[in-house]
Structure 1
Amino acid sequence: MFSLTVKEIAQAVHAHKIEDTWEMIEINNVGFDSRKLSAHSLFVPLVSENDGHSFIAQAIDQGAVATFWSNPLEDAPTDIPVIQVADTLRALQDLAEYYLNKIHPKVIGITGSNGKTTTKDMTEAVVSSQYRVHKTQGNFNNHIGLPITILEMPQDTEVIILEMGMNHAGEIKVLSNLAKPDIAIITMIGESHIEYLGSREGIADAKMEIISGLKETGILIIPGNEPLLIDRANILKHEQVKTFGPLPTNDSYSLEIVSGMKETIFETNLSPGSFIKLPVTGTYNVDNALAALSSAMVLGIPIDKAVQKLATFQLTENRTEWLDGIHGSALLNDAYNANPTAMKAVLTNFSQLKNSGRKIVVLGDMLELGEQTDELHLSIQDALSIDEVDQVILYGTHMKVLYEALKTVFGKERLHHFDGDKDPMIAFLKNLIQPKDYVLLKASFGTDLLSVIRALQVTTAN
């Protein structure tokens, strides 16, 4: 459990004034949402669309016993310690850095255009076979979420796994300099956020910011089949870079792979002669597993212990999860995130699954692709085979270009497009879906295909 005195916190963030009496007040948790605080909390009033300082009374009612403060002192509460700082967000980050140095766990940082959450979950599984582990929960992977994740770390933590997300250049650098990883993992370079970064080269530069805070003896783990990363990793010593991928030129590579509906089995050079089971579908998940196993090797964890944990790892929800659908169908929910590389990988794997019903794919818009939006949506046709997919339902403005390209291939009986109100699409799908059908649903989170999935789940269907 987190435990610091108010005085220690004030010193850590270089407060304008520090009271000796604060030595007697203990803080057990830190939060920025005044509605979700508990007893012995430090309140962090962040300033964005709303000014968190306005919610100090509610924070005190919910259990705050101290607060950061960057507004004029005459507006501050008088009944709890007020830690005055120039910037409450920077104070939060400074406190997280102080606490991280105090607990001093090994730090694993993970970023990538796709697969970082799955890799985080797999890495937690393999590392927990030997160490006490704390990891990022949900999507707490930005300049606010990452310090909160650190401050939620139990004091006996030996390894902390920090997911690092970004939209713009410079954001990963801030996170890496705060966390100072011992191990940095980049899962892949896709097209996510290309609208802001201009090109895959720009994305690679942004992801490589993870080595900004890498410790002097730290290790970078990257896909060996991505030249954009291999070239940029040359600034590190050769022994600091470990690669993973499907080819034997990598430090960790896969051999035979068999992917089924709910599991993937593969062999690797790290454990030749034995097969490793993942409780998720998708041959692309083998690379995520290799990245996780590579981190285990760096930490000196025996491969047999790591492999056992992979077989039962728990995947964060909405990442390639099977759900019971209406009319005895099975829904493959992958509607949390999407970019062209990831969408094509999921489609390829889905198309190869064996089932006695039909295969239906529901694809929504991919966002933040900028000037290349039409071109990248059009590229999805490479992964859609008329021989392997029975019905294609496209949703959103950007998917219209793919619909136009596929009309002569699939025809109006097998290809459908919807936009705007989702109710007509939901009604269409409820009428279309039959027993034993497999239904893949994938899109960017902002498209809100999750509402469609909820409508098609057996628990919500009429």
Structure 2
Amino acid sequence: MRFRASQAAHATHGTLHGEDVVLDTVAFDTRSLVPGQLFVPLVAERDGHDFLDAAVAAGAAATLASREVESGIPVIRVADTAAALIDLATWARQQLPARVVGVTGSVGKTSTKDLIRAAVAPQRRVWANEKSFNNESGLPTTILAAPDDTEVLVLEMGMRGFGQITQLCGIGRPQIGVVTAVGYSHTEKVGGIEGVAKAKGELVEALPADGTAVLNADDHRVAAMSSRTQASVLTYGRAEGADVRIADLTLDALARARFTVHTPWGSTDLALAVGGAHMASNAAAAIAVAGALGVDLAVAAEALSTARLSAMRMQVLDAAGGGRVVNDAYNANPTSTRAALDALAAMDAERRVAVLGMMGELDDPETGHREVAEHAATLGIELVAAGTDLYGVPGRPAEQVLAELGPVPPGTAVLVKASRSVGLDALADALAAAD
């Protein structure tokens, strides 16, 4: 989105010092800043004002600032740069004529966001979060980056506590809200899984009466959210009676789902390019959103057949040693890890190994990790713990895991999964490259 510095000053209750230049979106990270953008120096563990020289060198056309700065470019002085970013995005959302789709859930929200974008794109000009820009800085940045002619804006919404999704909905004002699942993720922040359900349901509570709540019929906590919204409801899943119903689901040698979907707009067959039976549910959510937006069912299904996900989501890598490595290391909780293990078990392989790191932000980490280990054993999967003893087996450093498992030979499939803070994606890449 393009806007003037004076408009940004008005939206943020700030004062413009310097020329009223035209600005082309915003950036809060100088490493990704491109010429013409408004620099937003956020103050967190590090003070973004300290990087103003780097922003100017990268081509920032103006900057927000909450203290005195010398920059050589126009400065919009505000009380708080983080609050100003939210105010600016709230104003920008009011300028966009787009239909906004909010997506949340304990698992699958990024993949569902990616699939919604793919399903809608053939017939609508669509914009969505990059990666997982789903918090109080990433979501405003996504809105401000949307082209002026955007018709559908897909906003992933993360949750770390009560009230956060309400805040994000206040910025993005979604008309369609998708809730994928309620699982054991961030439970320590909200007092357990019922707290997760309460917090996730803030999305459907924020929808207008003429909006649409898209709810997972296979998750009873999600399905129960129908009573918390004034919007109309579309359900999806395998459950009998789901409005968008998955039927005749099978998996190929790479655990990619093939199924029929029955919808209010007709029925069609889908064959996904990404692994995991759980991806059928995410695709059904995308079909529901596409249908609510008036996208042709056959067109949406065709687009989903070639859709790719953001990196580190069930990303199958052909290992140099002849086997396969599944990089699902972007994040992890017990629900998503069990789904990834199920996908690994369905793959055509003689040996299946799960390299699992710690799952963070659980209210009961011992139970969560132990139950995942038990699930792996039930499936006949070898479990290798990387950097944690919580799975009930001795944890190994990543370097030792690489030495023991690499190169990955033909007939072997290795899943790598952990919370993002563990950084096991580097191990997945190393295992794939080992020869």
TM over 0.5: yes
State the match for 1:428 in structure 2.
404
Question: What are the equivalent positions in structure 2 for 1:187-206 lying under 5 Å apart?
Answer: 187-206=180-199
Question: What are the equivalent positions in structure 2 for 1:72-151 lying under 5 Å apart?
Answer: 75-77=68-70, 79-151=72-144
Q: Which of 249, 255, 268 matches 2:247? A: 255
Please tell me the residue identity of whatever aligns with 1:418.
G
Q: Any conservation in 2 of the 1:326–1:430 contact (CA below 8 Å)?
A: no
How big is the shift at 1:285?
0.9
Q: Any conservation in 2 of the 1:105–1:159 contact (CA below 8 Å)?
A: yes
Structure 1 stretches of 4+ moved >6 Å: none
Task: Confirm or deny that 1:441 pairs with 2:402.
Answer: no
Q: Distance in 2 between matches of 1:56 and 1:452?
A: 35
How big is the shift at 1:114?
0.7
Gaps of 5+ in 2: none
Instruction: Tell me the SS of whatever aligns to 1:265.
Output: strand
Q: Any conservation in 2 of the 1:441–1:449 contact (CA below 8 Å)?
A: yes
Q: Which of 171, 177, 181 matches 1:178? A: 171
Q: Percent identity?
A: 34
Q: Any conservation in 1 of the 2:205–2:228 contact (CA below 8 Å)?
A: no
How big is the shift at 1:87?
1.4
Q: Which shows bigger deviation, 279-288 or 388-397?
A: 388-397
State the match for 2:430 in structure 1.
455
Q: Which of 233, 236, 241 matches 1:244? A: 236
Q: Any conservation in 1 of the 2:205–2:229 contact (CA below 8 Å)?
A: no
How big is the shift at 1:382?
4.4
- Relative to structure 1, the CA distance from residue 104 to residue 461 in structure 2 (aligned partners, 3 Å threshold; closer, same or farther) is same
State the match for 1:394 in structure 2.
385
State the match for 1:58 in structure 2.
54
- Relative to structure 1, the CA distance from residue 175 to residue 331 in structure 2 (aligned partners, 3 Å threshold; closer, same or farther) is same
Q: Any conservation in 1 of the 2:112–2:285 contact (CA below 8 Å)?
A: yes
Please tell me the residue identity of whatever aligns with 1:422.
A
How big is the shift at 1:235?
2.8
Please tell me the residue identity of whatever aligns with 1:436.
G
How big is the shift at 1:58?
2.9
Instruction: Tell me the SS of whatever aligns to 1:8.
Output: helix
Please tell me the residue identity of whatever aligns with 1:12.
A
Q: Distance in 2 between matches of 1:146 and 1:89?
A: 12
Please tell me the residue identity of whatever aligns with 1:437.
T
Q: Any conservation in 2 of the 1:30–1:42 contact (CA below 8 Å)?
A: yes
Please tell me the residue identity of whatever aligns with 2:428.
I
Q: Any conservation in 2 of the 1:109–1:210 contact (CA below 8 Å)?
A: yes
State the match for 2:274 in structure 1.
280
State the match for 1:28 in structure 2.
24
Task: Confirm or deny that 1:8 pairs with 2:4.
Answer: no
1:181-217 Cα distance to aligned partner (Å, 9 max, x none): 0101011011011121111110011111223542331
1:265-309 Cα distance to aligned partner (Å, 9 max, x none): 101112766421111121111110111111111111121111111
1:433-461 Cα distance to aligned partner (Å, 9 max, x none): 4322112222222222222212211xx32
Task: Confirm or deny that 1:418 pairs with 2:395.
Answer: yes
Question: For this pair of structures, how many residues does the alignment match?
Answer: 433
Task: Confirm or deny that 1:220 pairs with 2:201.
Answer: no
State the match for 1:378 in structure 2.
370
Instruction: Tell me the SS of whatever aligns to 2:214.
Output: strand
1:48-71 Cα distance to aligned partner (Å, 9 max, x none): 122222333332232223221222
Instruction: Tell me the SS of whatever aligns to 1:383.
Output: helix
How big is the shift at 1:247?
1.2
- Relative to structure 1, the CA distance from residue 130 to residue 424 in structure 2 (aligned partners, 3 Å threshold; closer, same or farther) is same
- Relative to structure 1, the CA distance from residue 198 to residue 4 in structure 2 (aligned partners, 3 Å threshold; closer, same or farther) is same
1:79-138 Cα distance to aligned partner (Å, 9 max, x none): 432212221111111111212211221101111111111101110011112100011001
RMSD: 2.1
Q: Distance in 1 between matches of 2:389 and 2:429?
A: 23
Of the two, which has the highest radius of gyration?
A: 1
Q: Any conservation in 2 of the 1:360–1:389 contact (CA below 8 Å)?
A: no
Please tell me the residue identity of whatever aligns with 2:55.
A
Q: Which shows bigger deviation, 47-56 or 249-258?
A: 47-56
1:141-193 Cα distance to aligned partner (Å, 9 max, x none): 11001111111111111111111112222211111110000101011011011
State the match for 2:329 in structure 1.
335
Instruction: Tell me the SS of whatever aligns to 2:116.
Output: helix
Q: Distance in 2 between matches of 1:456 and 1:289?
A: 29
Please tell me the residue identity of whatever aligns with 2:386.
Y
Q: Any conservation in 2 of the 1:177–1:212 contact (CA below 8 Å)?
A: no
Task: Confirm or deny that 1:320 pairs with 2:314.
Answer: yes
State the match for 1:353 in structure 2.
347
1:11-53 Cα distance to aligned partner (Å, 9 max, x none): 22222x357x844x21123112234433222121211122222
Q: Distance in 2 between matches of 1:67 and 1:190?
A: 40
Q: Which shows bigger deviation, 118-127 or 41-50?
A: 41-50
- Relative to structure 1, the CA distance from residue 53 to residue 132 in structure 2 (aligned partners, 3 Å threshold; closer, same or farther) is same
State the match for 2:44 in structure 1.
48
Q: Which shows bigger deviation, 56-65 or 318-327?
A: 56-65
- Relative to structure 1, the CA distance from residue 82 to residue 449 in structure 2 (aligned partners, 3 Å threshold; closer, same or farther) is closer
Instruction: Tell me the SS of whatever aligns to 2:274.
Output: coil
Gaps of 5+ in 1: 404-416
- Relative to structure 1, the CA distance from residue 290 to residue 66 in structure 2 (aligned partners, 3 Å threshold; closer, same or farther) is same
State the match for 1:412 in structure 2.
none
Please tell me the residue identity of whatever aligns with 2:307.
F
Q: Distance in 2 between matches of 1:55 and 1:446?
A: 24
- Relative to structure 1, the CA distance from residue 425 to residue 247 in structure 2 (aligned partners, 3 Å threshold; closer, same or farther) is same
Q: Any conservation in 1 of the 2:107–2:181 contact (CA below 8 Å)?
A: yes
Structure 1 length as normaliser, TM-score?
0.88
Instruction: Tell me the SS of whatever aligns to 1:107.
Output: strand
